[in-house]
Structure 1
Amino acid sequence: MRIIRHFSEHEIIENSILTIGNFDGVHIGHQELIREVCSLAKEHNTSSVLITFEPHPASVLSYQKNFRIVSLRNKILALKKLGINILYLQHFTRDFAKISAQEFIENILIKYFNPKHIIIGYDFVFGNNREGNGQLLQQYAESYNIGFTRFYPVKIGDQNVSSSLIRKLLAEGRIKEASCLLGYEYYITGFALNKGNISDKFKLPVAEMYLYNILCPKLGMYKATVEINNNLYEALVNIKMSREDKATGCLEICILNCKYELHNRRIQVKLLEKVDDGR
């Protein structure tokens, strides 16, 4: 997968199959839409392109902190696994947010991507004051003879699958339900810190991982697995708030029968279910 962060006149893409959105969590609704993008690109022998915004617009416009479901790194890995050919990371600033919907369509989508077909989610909005929506984008697509598909939400029961709902479930400690909507076991990756700390909760040495720029699930104890060097270990994880930064979550990780030194090692922690509300 090719990743583009800045465009020039020499990087114009021809006849792409294009989608746009935040895709936080890359949940089952996102996955269905992206598979359609990739399938259509293969059918037309052209590139599948996904445009997303970095940082997340809500963190810029609403100053929301630590609310993302997955890190940018994990989102990129998920999009690559789904088969996207080109990922464009549009740097999102307050100045960029002032661009009109018309400018965004004409000076970015049409100018650089020459889409043959555009596929968007049902609730996608864009442009200054969120003035652009699916209806406006469809009108432009028709005027440029571009195919257009508006994906409607995937439902589980009577609920629309959405990133907002998944955030709510994680904040309530409902990990299994969140994983069901994500389409994979909810996980967090990062660098473990192991300074010989003894946990007040476990009374044992623990590794710590800080949740910078991502959502902190409900505080308390969880059953988990930890992947280290492609090996899985059972673990207990206590989620608490950082002593240094009360807005940042911290995982205290007690791994059973682990032979590795964890300090400064990248690990993956999968939360399986909540055990109690201990701090």
Structure 2
Amino acid sequence: MELVSSINDLSFKSKTAVTIGNFDGVHIGHKELINLTTKIASEKNLKSLVFTFENHPIEFLYNKKIERLTSPARKKEIIKELGIDEIVSVEFNYDIKNMTTEEFSQKILINALNASDVIMGFDSRLGNGKEGKVEYLYEVGKKMGFNVHIVDQVLVDNMRVSSSYIREMLKHGEVKRVKHFLGRDYEISGVVVHGKKIGRVLGFPTANIEQDYDVLLPQKGVYYCKVLVDGVYYDGATSVGDNPTVKDKGFSVETHLINFSGDIYGKNIKLFFLDRLRDEMKFRSLEDLKFQMNKDVLKIKNYIFT
């Protein structure tokens, strides 16, 4: 993988098959692009390449915060796991934004990436202005000597797979449904830090997670998670929210690991969200909270995957 500050620093000697995009979440629509890229590269003896951005173009253009589905580092890990040879990640800036389709094709696709084949999503844009639509890239490719392959939309339950739609599902706590769009369980990772230890008092010690990177969290509530600790998976009951029963607890992500014992503080762990158990609730007493936590854990132990 190459992170470059300038397109001028790039020069691939081998011919490449290139797919271009932000790839936040690396969902099943993105995987269609990547799989076609690796297939074409294999058939034509090319180097497979993903060209992506460190920052999000929408954040840059509109000063609007995008709630990421993956950290930049995790995004690159998933892409590499899908068999891509090289990832080029650059900062989206005004130089790129102001390029016409022809300029982008000459300066980046040909001069920098040595592209033989370019694989794009049906709704992608490549270049500034009305000619930036991906269909126009066909004509440019014919003139400049590279092939263009356009991948059609991917549907799940008659809904188009997109990062924005996945964000909306997460905001409604639909983590089980999200898996069908991502092709994997939604995940976060972070370091276990000290909390107020209320869970320990109740007999349900919890690991408080300080996220590595500010990715989008599901809607407040309690979730069934698989928790990866030191290479071992545990079942976990995970609370995302403000813990309204406990005064001054504040917002937190904390998980009770079932059948786990040991010191977990300072460890980096991963949480994979499998299903939503219930909404966040305010209980009349800690005893009522303890009773509900018993029910949550029992539900996880008896969970049947459907």
- TM-score between both structures, scaled by the size of structure 1: 0.88
The aligned counterpart of 1:246 is: none
- Deviations 1:141-188 (CA, angstroms, capped at 9, x unpaired): 111121111100111232111111111111111111100111111111
Alignment of 1:220 onto 2:217: no
> Per chain length, whose mean CA-contact separation is higher, i.e. which structure has more relative contact order (CA < 8 Å, sep 6+)?
1
Alignment of 1:70 onto 2:73: no
Q: Structure 1 residues 186, 66: closer, same or farther in 2, change over 3 A?
A: same
My pick for the range that moved more, 250-259 or 265-274, is 250-259
Query: What is the correspondence of 1:1-279 to structure 2 with a 5 Å cutoff?
Result: 2-6=1-5, 7-8=7-8, 11-65=11-65, 67-94=67-94, 96-128=96-128, 132-195=132-195, 197-199=197-199, 204-211=204-211, 212-240=213-241, 250-278=252-280
Give unmatched runs, 5+ long, in structure 1. 243-248
By how many angstroms is 1:113 displaced?
A: 1.1
**Structure number with bigger Rg:** 2
The answer on whether the counterparts of 1:199 and 1:252 sit within 8 Å (CA) in structure 2 is: no
The answer on whether the counterparts of 1:224 and 1:273 sit within 8 Å (CA) in structure 2 is: yes
**For 2:130 and 2:25, how far apart are their aligned partners in 1?**
22
* Counterpart secondary structure, 2:276: strand
By how many angstroms is 1:59 displaced?
A: 2.5
The answer on whether the counterparts of 1:209 and 1:251 sit within 8 Å (CA) in structure 2 is: yes
* Counterpart secondary structure, 1:11: coil
**For 1:103 and 1:44, how far apart are their aligned partners in 2?**
26
Q: Structure 1 residues 134, 227: closer, same or farther in 2, change over 3 A?
A: same
Q: Structure 1 residues 59, 43: closer, same or farther in 2, change over 3 A?
A: same
Q: RMSD of the TM alignment (CA)? A: 2.6
My pick for the range that moved more, 155-164 or 219-228, is 155-164
* Counterpart secondary structure, 2:59: helix
AA aligned opposite 1:253: T
Equivalent pairs counted in the alignment come to 273
**For 1:260 and 1:3, how far apart are their aligned partners in 2?**
39
**For 1:271 and 1:258, how far apart are their aligned partners in 2?**
18
The answer on whether the counterparts of 1:196 and 1:206 sit within 8 Å (CA) in structure 2 is: no
My pick for the range that moved more, 75-84 or 249-258, is 249-258
By how many angstroms is 1:227 displaced?
A: 0.5
Q: Structure 1 residues 9, 253: closer, same or farther in 2, change over 3 A?
A: closer
The answer on whether the counterparts of 1:65 and 1:213 sit within 8 Å (CA) in structure 2 is: no
The answer on whether the counterparts of 1:188 and 1:269 sit within 8 Å (CA) in structure 2 is: yes
Q: Structure 1 residues 129, 226: closer, same or farther in 2, change over 3 A?
A: farther
My pick for the range that moved more, 132-141 or 223-232, is 132-141
By how many angstroms is 1:28 displaced?
A: 1.2
Q: Structure 1 residues 106, 11: closer, same or farther in 2, change over 3 A?
A: closer
- Deviations 1:189-242 (CA, angstroms, capped at 9, x unpaired): 222223453259977432222444311211111111101111111111111269
Q: Greater helix percent: which structure? A: 2
- Deviations 1:60-104 (CA, angstroms, capped at 9, x unpaired): 223333611111121111111101111000112355434444332
* Counterpart secondary structure, 1:254: strand
